[in-house]
Protein backbone atom coordinates (compact mmCIF):
# COMPACT_ATOMS: atom_id res chain seq x y z
CA UNK A 1 0.00 0.00 0.00
CA UNK A 2 0.94 3.61 -0.47
CA UNK A 3 -0.16 6.69 1.44
CA UNK A 4 0.23 9.97 -0.44
CA UNK A 5 0.50 12.99 1.87
CA UNK A 6 -0.79 16.15 0.19
CA UNK A 7 -0.77 19.78 1.25
CA UNK A 8 -3.94 21.38 -0.05
CA UNK A 9 -3.27 24.99 0.84
CA UNK A 10 -2.63 26.64 4.17
CA UNK A 11 -4.57 28.19 7.03
CA UNK A 12 -3.73 31.23 9.16
CA UNK A 13 -4.79 30.87 12.80
CA UNK A 14 -4.05 31.98 16.32
CA UNK A 15 -1.34 29.81 17.95
CA UNK A 16 -3.95 29.10 20.62
CA UNK A 17 -6.08 27.17 18.16
CA UNK A 18 -3.57 24.33 17.59
CA UNK A 19 -1.74 24.50 20.91
CA UNK A 20 -4.03 26.33 23.34
CA UNK A 21 -3.96 23.61 25.98
CA UNK A 22 -6.60 22.40 28.40
CA UNK A 23 -7.39 25.84 29.82
CA UNK A 24 -8.01 27.54 26.47
CA UNK A 25 -11.49 28.86 25.68
CA UNK A 26 -13.16 29.21 22.25
CA UNK A 27 -12.76 33.00 22.10
CA UNK A 28 -9.04 32.80 22.83
CA UNK A 29 -8.62 29.95 20.34
CA UNK A 30 -10.45 31.89 17.63
CA UNK A 31 -7.91 34.72 17.79
CA UNK A 32 -10.54 37.29 16.87
CA UNK A 33 -9.03 39.84 19.27
CA UNK A 34 -5.43 38.96 18.40
CA UNK A 35 -3.10 40.92 16.13
CA UNK A 36 -2.75 39.36 12.69
CA UNK A 37 1.04 39.55 13.06
CA UNK A 38 0.78 37.08 15.95
CA UNK A 39 -0.96 34.43 13.89
CA UNK A 40 0.75 31.43 12.31
CA UNK A 41 0.34 29.55 9.02
CA UNK A 42 -0.29 25.82 9.06
CA UNK A 43 -0.57 23.35 6.18
CA UNK A 44 -3.93 21.76 5.35
CA UNK A 45 -3.36 18.10 4.58
CA UNK A 46 -5.30 15.37 2.80
CA UNK A 47 -4.26 11.79 2.08
CA UNK A 48 -4.70 9.31 -0.74
CA UNK A 49 -4.40 5.63 0.16
CA UNK A 50 -3.65 3.15 -2.61
CA UNK A 51 -4.74 -0.29 -1.46
CA UNK A 52 -5.75 -3.66 -2.87
CA UNK A 53 -9.34 -2.51 -2.37
CA UNK A 54 -8.91 0.61 -4.46
CA UNK A 55 -8.36 4.31 -3.82
CA UNK A 56 -9.35 5.92 -0.53
CA UNK A 57 -9.12 9.67 0.05
CA UNK A 58 -8.98 10.96 3.62
CA UNK A 59 -10.32 14.53 3.94
CA UNK A 60 -10.62 17.10 1.16
CA UNK A 61 -9.05 20.35 2.38
CA UNK A 62 -10.35 23.64 1.04
CA UNK A 63 -12.47 24.07 -2.06
CA UNK A 64 -11.04 26.17 -4.88
CA UNK A 65 -14.00 28.56 -4.56
CA UNK A 66 -12.56 30.05 -1.37
CA UNK A 67 -9.30 31.05 -3.05
CA UNK A 68 -10.23 31.36 -6.75
CA UNK A 69 -7.02 33.10 -7.83
CA UNK A 70 -4.66 31.23 -5.53
CA UNK A 71 -4.49 34.12 -3.08
CA UNK A 72 -6.12 35.10 0.20
CA UNK A 73 -9.57 36.39 -0.79
CA UNK A 74 -11.78 37.50 2.09
CA UNK A 75 -15.07 37.82 0.24
CA UNK A 76 -14.58 34.59 -1.73
CA UNK A 77 -13.78 32.67 1.44
CA UNK A 78 -16.81 34.03 3.31
CA UNK A 79 -19.03 33.08 0.36
CA UNK A 80 -17.48 29.61 0.08
CA UNK A 81 -17.68 28.86 3.79
CA UNK A 82 -21.02 30.60 4.28
CA UNK A 83 -19.76 32.13 7.51
CA UNK A 84 -17.99 35.36 8.43
CA UNK A 85 -17.19 33.90 11.86
CA UNK A 86 -15.23 31.05 10.30
CA UNK A 87 -13.25 33.52 8.21
CA UNK A 88 -12.36 35.49 11.32
CA UNK A 89 -11.09 32.30 12.97
CA UNK A 90 -9.14 30.83 10.07
CA UNK A 91 -8.09 32.45 6.82
CA UNK A 92 -7.16 30.05 4.06
CA UNK A 93 -5.31 30.14 0.76
CA UNK A 94 -4.73 27.52 -1.94
CA UNK A 95 -2.03 28.12 -4.53
CA UNK A 96 -2.95 27.26 -8.10
CA UNK A 97 -2.88 23.52 -8.70
CA UNK A 98 -2.90 22.66 -5.00
CA UNK A 99 -6.60 21.97 -4.33
CA UNK A 100 -7.11 18.24 -3.84
CA UNK A 101 -9.15 17.86 -7.04
CA UNK A 102 -6.36 19.55 -9.01
CA UNK A 103 -3.66 17.38 -7.47
CA UNK A 104 -5.62 14.19 -8.12
CA UNK A 105 -6.28 15.28 -11.72
CA UNK A 106 -2.53 15.79 -12.20
CA UNK A 107 -2.13 12.12 -11.17
CA UNK A 108 -4.78 11.09 -13.71
CA UNK A 109 -7.36 10.38 -10.99
CA UNK A 110 -10.98 11.44 -11.44
CA UNK A 111 -13.56 11.60 -8.62
CA UNK A 112 -15.21 8.50 -10.09
CA UNK A 113 -11.97 6.59 -9.51
CA UNK A 114 -12.20 7.09 -5.75
CA UNK A 115 -13.72 4.10 -3.99
CA UNK A 116 -14.09 5.92 -0.67
CA UNK A 117 -13.71 9.43 0.67
CA UNK A 118 -13.47 9.48 4.47
CA UNK A 119 -14.18 12.77 6.22
CA UNK A 120 -12.49 12.50 9.61
CA UNK A 121 -14.79 15.30 10.81
CA UNK A 122 -16.72 18.18 9.30
CA UNK A 123 -14.64 21.29 10.04
CA UNK A 124 -14.23 23.56 7.01
CA UNK A 125 -10.59 22.73 6.29
CA UNK A 126 -11.54 19.05 6.05
CA UNK A 127 -14.96 19.13 4.37
CA UNK A 128 -15.25 22.40 2.44
CA UNK A 129 -13.53 20.69 -0.51
CA UNK A 130 -16.18 17.97 -0.93
CA UNK A 131 -17.53 19.52 -4.18
CA UNK A 132 -14.21 18.61 -5.85
CA UNK A 133 -14.76 14.87 -5.35
CA UNK A 134 -18.49 14.53 -6.04
CA UNK A 135 -18.84 11.35 -8.07
CA UNK A 136 -16.70 9.25 -5.72
CA UNK A 137 -18.35 5.88 -5.06
CA UNK A 138 -18.71 6.44 -1.32
CA UNK A 139 -18.33 9.63 0.73
CA UNK A 140 -18.59 8.90 4.44
CA UNK A 141 -18.21 10.30 7.92
CA UNK A 142 -19.13 8.87 11.31
CA UNK A 143 -22.77 8.89 12.38
CA UNK A 144 -21.67 10.54 15.63
CA UNK A 145 -20.13 13.42 13.70
CA UNK A 146 -23.13 14.20 11.53
CA UNK A 147 -25.53 13.81 14.45
CA UNK A 148 -23.54 16.37 16.45
CA UNK A 149 -24.93 19.18 14.29
CA UNK A 150 -28.31 18.73 15.96
CA UNK A 151 -26.88 18.14 19.43
CA UNK A 152 -24.00 20.56 19.83
CA UNK A 153 -24.12 24.36 19.60
CA UNK A 154 -20.43 24.58 18.65
CA UNK A 155 -20.95 22.11 15.80
CA UNK A 156 -23.71 24.29 14.39
CA UNK A 157 -21.29 27.22 14.36
CA UNK A 158 -18.37 25.24 12.95
CA UNK A 159 -20.18 23.24 10.25
CA UNK A 160 -22.16 24.31 7.18
CA UNK A 161 -24.13 21.56 5.43
CA UNK A 162 -23.81 23.44 2.12
CA UNK A 163 -20.27 22.02 1.86
CA UNK A 164 -21.54 18.47 1.31
CA UNK A 165 -25.12 18.94 0.10
CA UNK A 166 -25.75 16.91 -3.05
CA UNK A 167 -22.57 14.88 -2.59
CA UNK A 168 -24.27 11.70 -1.42
CA UNK A 169 -22.58 11.88 1.98
CA UNK A 170 -23.41 8.83 4.09
CA UNK A 171 -22.57 7.88 7.65
CA UNK A 172 -21.02 4.77 9.14
CA UNK A 173 -21.68 3.20 12.52
CA UNK A 174 -18.87 1.77 14.59
CA UNK A 175 -18.53 -1.96 13.91
CA UNK A 176 -15.46 -2.67 16.07
CA UNK A 177 -14.03 -1.96 19.51
CA UNK A 178 -10.56 -0.55 18.85
CA UNK A 179 -9.23 2.73 20.20
CA UNK A 180 -9.53 4.75 23.40
CA UNK A 181 -13.34 4.64 23.39
CA UNK A 182 -13.68 1.10 21.98
CA UNK A 183 -15.33 2.41 18.82
CA UNK A 184 -13.92 1.66 15.38
CA UNK A 185 -15.03 1.03 11.83
CA UNK A 186 -13.17 -1.50 9.68
CA UNK A 187 -13.71 -0.13 6.19
CA UNK A 188 -13.06 -3.36 4.26
CA UNK A 189 -13.34 -5.93 7.03
CA UNK A 190 -9.68 -7.00 6.91
CA UNK A 191 -8.00 -4.45 9.20
CA UNK A 192 -6.18 -2.70 6.36
CA UNK A 193 -8.01 0.63 6.80
CA UNK A 194 -9.73 1.29 10.11
CA UNK A 195 -11.46 4.46 11.32
CA UNK A 196 -11.01 4.84 15.08
CA UNK A 197 -13.09 7.18 17.27
CA UNK A 198 -10.98 9.89 18.91
CA UNK A 199 -13.65 12.39 20.09
CA UNK A 200 -12.95 15.59 21.94
CA UNK A 201 -12.04 18.11 19.26
CA UNK A 202 -15.37 17.14 17.74
CA UNK A 203 -17.97 14.57 18.76
CA UNK A 204 -17.41 12.12 15.93
CA UNK A 205 -13.77 12.74 15.04
CA UNK A 206 -11.94 9.67 13.79
CA UNK A 207 -8.34 8.74 13.14
CA UNK A 208 -7.54 6.50 10.19
CA UNK A 209 -5.07 3.66 10.65
CA UNK A 210 -3.57 2.14 7.50
CA UNK A 211 -1.96 -1.27 8.16
CA UNK A 212 0.26 -3.59 6.16
CA UNK A 213 0.07 -7.39 6.40
CA UNK A 214 3.16 -7.45 8.62
CA UNK A 215 1.55 -5.21 11.24
CA UNK A 216 3.33 -1.96 10.35
CA UNK A 217 0.93 0.95 10.21
CA UNK A 218 0.47 4.64 9.48
CA UNK A 219 -1.75 6.65 11.81
CA UNK A 220 -3.57 9.65 10.36
CA UNK A 221 -4.92 11.32 13.48
CA UNK A 222 -6.52 14.36 11.84
CA UNK A 223 -7.12 17.06 14.47
CA UNK A 224 -6.71 14.75 17.45
CA UNK A 225 -3.60 16.90 17.78
CA UNK A 226 -2.07 19.53 15.52
CA UNK A 227 1.44 18.13 15.32
CA UNK A 228 3.98 15.76 16.81
CA UNK A 229 4.41 18.34 19.56
CA UNK A 230 0.78 17.73 20.56
CA UNK A 231 1.18 14.08 21.52
CA UNK A 232 4.76 14.29 22.74
CA UNK A 233 3.92 17.06 25.20
CA UNK A 234 0.21 16.21 25.58
CA UNK A 235 -0.90 19.67 24.45
CA UNK A 236 -4.49 19.61 23.19
CA UNK A 237 -5.85 22.11 20.70
CA UNK A 238 -7.77 25.17 21.83
CA UNK A 239 -10.96 24.01 20.12
CA UNK A 240 -12.75 21.16 21.88
CA UNK A 241 -16.28 19.96 22.43
CA UNK A 242 -15.18 17.78 25.35
CA UNK A 243 -11.85 18.38 27.12
CA UNK A 244 -11.78 15.07 28.99
CA UNK A 245 -12.42 13.07 25.81
CA UNK A 246 -9.86 15.17 23.95
CA UNK A 247 -7.13 14.29 26.46
CA UNK A 248 -8.08 10.60 26.48
CA UNK A 249 -7.81 10.58 22.68
CA UNK A 250 -4.49 12.44 22.75
CA UNK A 251 -2.97 9.95 25.19
CA UNK A 252 -4.04 7.13 22.90
CA UNK A 253 -2.47 8.92 19.91
CA UNK A 254 0.76 9.17 21.89
CA UNK A 255 0.68 5.46 22.73
CA UNK A 256 0.10 4.53 19.09
CA UNK A 257 2.74 6.94 17.81
CA UNK A 258 5.37 5.37 20.07
CA UNK A 259 4.49 1.83 18.98
CA UNK A 260 7.55 0.29 17.22
CA UNK A 261 5.28 -0.79 14.35
CA UNK A 262 4.11 2.79 13.71
CA UNK A 263 5.85 3.92 10.51
CA UNK A 264 4.48 7.47 10.66
CA UNK A 265 1.95 9.30 12.80
CA UNK A 266 0.55 12.38 11.11
CA UNK A 267 -1.61 15.34 12.10
CA UNK A 268 -3.42 17.27 9.40
CA UNK A 269 -1.70 20.55 10.25
CA UNK A 270 1.87 19.73 11.28
CA UNK A 271 4.29 22.42 10.07
CA UNK A 272 7.12 19.87 10.05
CA UNK A 273 5.40 17.45 7.66
CA UNK A 274 6.09 17.87 3.95
CA UNK A 275 4.22 16.23 1.05
CA UNK A 276 5.60 12.74 0.49
CA UNK A 277 4.64 9.13 -0.22
CA UNK A 278 4.75 6.38 2.42
CA UNK A 279 5.30 2.81 1.25
CA UNK A 280 3.83 0.02 3.37
pLDDT tens digits along 249-259: 999 999 999 99
pLDDT on residue 9: 96
In order of start, what are the domains of the chain with their CATH numbers?
2-274 (3.60.15.10)
Helix (H) or strand (E) holding 88: helix 84-89
- Give 41's DSSP letter: E
Weakest-pLDDT range from 21-30, 200-209, 241-250, 258-267? 21-30
- Given a contact cutoff of 8 angstroms between Cβ atoms, the answer to whether 175 and 243 are in contact is no
pLDDT tens digits along 124-171: 999 999 999 999 999 999 999 999 999 888 898 999 999 999 999 999
| Cα–Cα distances in angstroms (integers) from residue 190 to residues 3, 193, 212, 222, in the given order | 18, 8, 11, 22
Rounded to whole angstroms, how far apart are CA atoms 79 and 77? 5
Rounded to whole angstroms, how far apart are CA atoms 121 and 60? 11
pLDDT on residue 152: 85
Mean pLDDT estimate for the chain: 96
Amino acid sequence: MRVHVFHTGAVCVSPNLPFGGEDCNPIKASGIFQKRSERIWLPVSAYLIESDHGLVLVDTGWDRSMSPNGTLDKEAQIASLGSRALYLTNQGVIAKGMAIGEQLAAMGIKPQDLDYVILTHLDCDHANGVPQIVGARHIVTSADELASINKNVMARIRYQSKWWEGSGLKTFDWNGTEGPFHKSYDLFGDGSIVCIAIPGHSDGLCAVRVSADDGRFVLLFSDGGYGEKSWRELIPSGIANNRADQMTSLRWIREQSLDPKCVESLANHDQKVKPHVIEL
